[in-house]
Amino acid sequence: MPDALARPSFDPELATFLTRMQEHGPFTLTTSMLPRMRELELAEEELDEDLRARGLERRTATIPGHDGDPITAGIIQRAGRTGSAARIGDI
Count: domains in the chain: 1
In a domain, 73, yes or no: yes
pLDDT at position 1 is 46
Residue 59 is part of which domain span?
A: 44-80
Calculate the CA dihedral of residues 13, 19, 24, 28 and round it to 10 degrees.
70
Enumerate residues 6+ apart whose C-beta is below 8 A from 80: 57
In a domain, 86, yes or no: no
CA distance 60 to 53: 19
What digits encode the pLDDT tens for the residues 69-86? 899 988 888 998 887 765
In a domain, 57, yes or no: yes
pLDDT at position 15 is 78
CA distance 73 to 78: 16
In a domain, 55, yes or no: yes
- Each residue's pLDDT expressed in tens, for the chain with a length of 91 residues: 455 666 666 677 777 877 887 887 777 778 888 788 777 677 888 889 999 999 999 999 999 988 888 999 888 889 988 877 655 554 4
In a domain, 64, yes or no: yes
State if pTM tops 0.85: no
In a domain, 4, yes or no: no
Given a contact cutoff of 8 angstroms between Cβ atoms, the answer to whether 76 and 56 are in contact is yes
